[in-house]
Structure formats: C-alpha cells, structure tokens
Amino acid sequence: MLFNSFNFAIFLPLVLTLYWIISSKHLKVQNILLLISSYFFYACWDWKFLFLLIFSTSLDYLTGIQIAESNNERIRRFWLWLSIAINLGFLGIFKYYDFFAQSFSEGLLQLGFHVNPWTLNLILPVGISFYTFHGLSYVIDIYHKKIQAERNIVDYSLFVSFFPLLVAGPIERATHLLPQIQKKREFNYNKVTDGLKQILWGLFKKMVIADNCAYYADLIFNNSENHSGSTLLVGAVLFSFQIYGDFSGYSDIALGTARLFGIELLQNFAFPYFSRDISEFWRRWHISLTTWFRDYIYIPLGGNRVSILKKIRNTFIIFLVSGFWHGANWTFIFWGALNALFFLPLLLTNRNRLNLEIVAKHRIFPNFIEFINIVSTFLLCTFTWIFFRSENINQAVSIIITIFSTSIVQIPEIFPFYIIILLIFFIAVEWLGREGNYAIENIVIKWKRPIRWAYYSALLFLIGMFMQTEETAFIYFQF
C-alpha cells in the first residue's frame, strides 16, 4: 500500500476515525489499534514477511529485557551480540548475500578461477533496513543503560512497526518515540491540520516533482550512451530533484501522518539543497540515518577525538557503510567513498561546522558567496548522484566523461520545459519556507483562511494536473 495510492486514501481516514472517535479514551486500545493497522499495512506488501518483522521485533524485545535484567557484563554482552548478529544476519542474507557471492566469484575470475556463484535470488523484505536499525538502536541503548527495557510488548512492537515509518523511515530512536507511545495522546486541532499540510506538501514533492523528474531521468539514464553531455547533465540534475522529492516527500507524508495520530517523528530532511558545503548537506539529508551512523558507529570508533589517520579512517567507514546500507552494489559504495572524499577536507581543516544555521536566516536572498556555495554544493551532490543512479561504475564513469566533453555545449536533446517551470516554483516555495520544519509550514499561515485554503487547493490542482497516472513506488522502499 503506497502513500500515494487510492488504497491508502481509504485506509488512513478509516484508521484515524477509529483512533480518535472509538479508542480515544483508552491508550491501550489506541496502541493495539495502531499495531494491528501497522501489521495490516505491512501485510499488504507481502504477508509472508510479516513473520520476519514479528520475529525481529520479538528478538529485540526479549534480548532487551535480558540485557536489562542481568548485572553480569559477559551475559549482557552475549545478549547484545546475539541480537546484533541475528539482525544483521537477516539483513545480510536478504540484502547482501547475492552481492557477496557474485563479487567473490568475479574476484576469483580475475585470478583465473571460474566459479559459478551460488545465489539465493531472495526478494528483499520491504523496510528491513529500517526496522532492523530501529531494533539495533534500542538494544544498544539498553546495553549502554541509556534507556530501560520496555516490558509492554504492544508498545515495543508499535515502536518498531508504526506504519508511517515502517517501510522507509525515518529511523526512530526509542528515547524519542517510546515515551510518546506510552503517553496518552490528546486530539489537537492545530497538530492535525499541520499534519495534513505536511502530507499535502509531501504528496506534491512525490507526485509532481519526483515522478515527473523520474520520467525524464529514466529516459536519459537508460539510454545514456546515446546522449550528449548537456543532456546527461540535465538527466543528472533531474535525478537530484527526483531523489530529493521522492525521499523527502515520503518523509513529509510519514511525519504528517504520524502527527495526525498525535505522534511526532524525527525530522529527516532540512532543505539539504540549500547547504553551503557538503558537511552541511549531510546534516540536512536523511538526518535520522546520518545521526544513527554517527551515534552507533562513528562515535564508538572514537569520532573526531582521535589522530588524523583515525579520523580519516572513521570518516571513510561511516560513508562506506552508508553507501552499502543503500544497496548491494559497487555504485553505492563508490557514492559513499566520493562523499567521504568531499567531506574530509572540511573535517581536517575544522571547517565542517561552519554552517550550522539555515542559509540567509531572516533574510529574503542569500549574498553572492552564499549563492555560489549553494550552487557548487548542489553540483557536487549531483556529481555523486550519478554513481547512485547508474547501473554500474562503468556507466557512471562514461556519463561523467561525456559530461566533461565538448558535447556539454550542445543543445540538450531532452529538455522538459514544463518541469523546469515546476522546479522553479518548487525551489521558490522551499526557499521561502526554509526556516520551518517543512516548506509550507509557515508560508501562508498568517493570511486569511480563504487565501490559505485557495493556496492548498492550488497545490491539489497542480497534483491533479501533473501527477503521473501510473502508481510509482518510492525509491527508498528498495533499500
């Protein structure tokens, strides 16, 4: 069941009505209803994988209790590593086994040995990378005594499986979400309308921006060898907007949906394409994953408080792991490595925390330097996205060579003018709303109701006029 599907448009109001009207007085009933709805939502993808989700949930629930109850460090460590091993084991089998088998066989072939790899060809359970990370952070936090183990199985299961975040995040922390699940939620008109607004903006990002860009980006990338450098550059820029519209659109819908139920999820995107350098970009892009890696890998490795060599090592580790998390392909790993390369000079010169606030705060326009920095950071990101989007490294390299050839000055063969106009509108709205949590949060809030509503209706109209008529899945579902 996709967020941008007709089925979800029926499912959500139905669950919401039951939640607020029938079960509003009883927290337990609310949580049970949300859990059943979440499992139903997940089973709509593939009911067989529901068992895997329940198994993973039960494993972390039980190991969490075992760790919390034991005072013996060895036993505590045993349960921690058991949980990590099984969680990552499942992730490894479903997501990475075929990749390793294939790569191993290719490596042997280079040495002159021909081996037929034994591959499993398993379907990747949707959301496995996300709920595995939910569970891992929970168990690790208990081990480090940052939180207590949750004894209520319904509350814990809901923390892992809450349907807005189940299939593509944001990756929540127990410290943030569990207390909200345990606390009685009161209906709040302002929160609900705010949630609806965020859903609307998320749908616009996905259905208008991402899906339209996707059509042309696919057209260009799928036939990249026959296009000029200028067309490939258009394709790369369109993909940059596609992936942003798609994933941040999903996150907006997830956050908005959760807010309808009185639950606040972690902000996942904070206008990353207005970043002035690559380190600011990474503080604003897929925030819940970046902070997860920071807290559970980078800091335990020593973080910044180590020698320069170790700093470099740690940076490469988290970016490579981040790339690998996205998928079992060398393109993702290369994408991660490139980001590490772009990030390192800033880290080593202590310039990685220069831009903490949003650009041009309380001003309408950025100054010239800021503008140049934003554009160059965007182009740098676009350069790395070429690897992310390409089928293999060879294709990515070939695209980059063509972009840097003389054909860059040719008139692009594919130049969808209507998308350029939509993108200008999109960037303008995002720019105006960049000091909020999402673009349209505060834009027309002070205006009179008819103008506000006309604005929202106009967004609905743009969705109706420009949406793709085929249902399109979100990119991050494959991760």
Partner 1 sequence: MKKLLISISLFIPFAAFIYCFLLIIWGTFAPSSFQKNLNYRIGGHMYERIREAQLTSKVDILFLGSSHSYRGFDPRIFKKGGFSTFNLGSSSQSPLQTEVLLKRYLIHFKPNIIIYEVYPGTFSSDGVESSINILANDKNDMESIKMSLIQNHIKVYNALIFSFYKNYSANNPDELKSDLKEDDEYISGGYVQKKEMYNNRKSYKKNKWKLNNDQFSAFEKTINLIKKENIRLILVQAPITESYYSSFSNNLDFDNKMKSYGEYYNFNELLQLDDSLHFYDSNHLNQSGVEVFNAEILKTIKM
Instruction: Kindly list the catalytic residues.
Output: 326
Q: Which CB atom, from 154 or from 192, has the smaller least distance to partner 1?
A: 192
If binding is defined by CB under 8 A, does position 316 make contact with partner 1?
no
Q: Is 448 in the site for partner 1 (CB under 8 A)?
A: no
**Which residue in 45, 90, 466, 477 binds partner 1 (CB under 8 A)?**
466
Among 473, 388, 478, 477, CA closest to 207:
473
Site for partner 1 in 335-354 (CB under 8 A): none
Pick between residue 112 and residue 450 the one whose CB is nearest to partner 1.
450
Whole-angstrom CA distances from 26 to 15, 156, 183 are 15, 17, 11
Q: Does 111 bind partner 1 (CB under 8 A)?
A: no
**Per rule CB under 8 A, is residue 330 in the interface with partner 1?**
no
Q: How far is the CB of 418 from partner 1 (least distance, A)?
A: 5
| 296 CA to centre of own chain | 17
Q: Which of 21, 123, 409, 411 binds partner 1 (CB under 8 A)?
A: 21
Closer CB to partner 1, 442 or 457, in the complex: 457
Q: Which of residues 202-231 bind partner 1 (CB under 8 A)?
A: 212
DSSP notation for 158-188: HHHH-HHHHTT-----HHHHHHHHHSPPPP-
Task: Give the nearer residue to partner 1 in terms of CB position, either 14 or 375.
Answer: 14
Q: Of 187, 404, 415, 447, which lies in the binding site for partner 1, with binding defined by CB under 8 A?
A: 187
Query: Of 192, 427, 432, 444, which one interacts with partner 1 (CB under 8 A)?
Result: 192
The CA distance from 34 to 36, in Å, is: 6
**Taking each helix axis from N to C terminus, what angle separates 229-260 and 417-432, rounded to the nearest 10 degrees?**
50
Stretch 404-433: interaction string toward partner 1, x if CB under 8 A: -------------xx--x------------
Instruction: Note whether 460 binds partner 1 by CB under 8 A.
Output: yes
* Region of 37-45, 90-98, 424-432, 453-461 interacting with partner 1 (CB under 8 A): 453-461
Out of 193, 394, 410, 442, the only residue in the binding site for partner 1 (CB under 8 A) is 193
Q: Pick from 54, 84, 432, 467: which binds partner 1 (CB under 8 A)?
A: 467
Provide the Cα torsion 52, 54, 59, 65; round to 10°.
Answer: 170
Binding residues with partner 1: total (CB under 8 A): 24
* Spatial distance between the Cα atoms of 447 and 379, rounded to a whole number of angstroms: 36
CA distances from 295 to 135, 137, 360 (A): 15, 9, 29
Specify whether the CB–CB gap between 128 and 94 falls below 8 A: yes
In SS3 terms, 387-436 reads as HHHCCCHHHHHHHHHHHCCHHHHCCCCCCCHHHHHHHHHHHHHHHHCCCC
Which residues lie near partner 1 (CB under 8 A)?
Answer: 6, 20-21, 187, 189, 192-193, 212, 417-418, 421, 450, 453-454, 456-458, 460-461, 464-467, 469
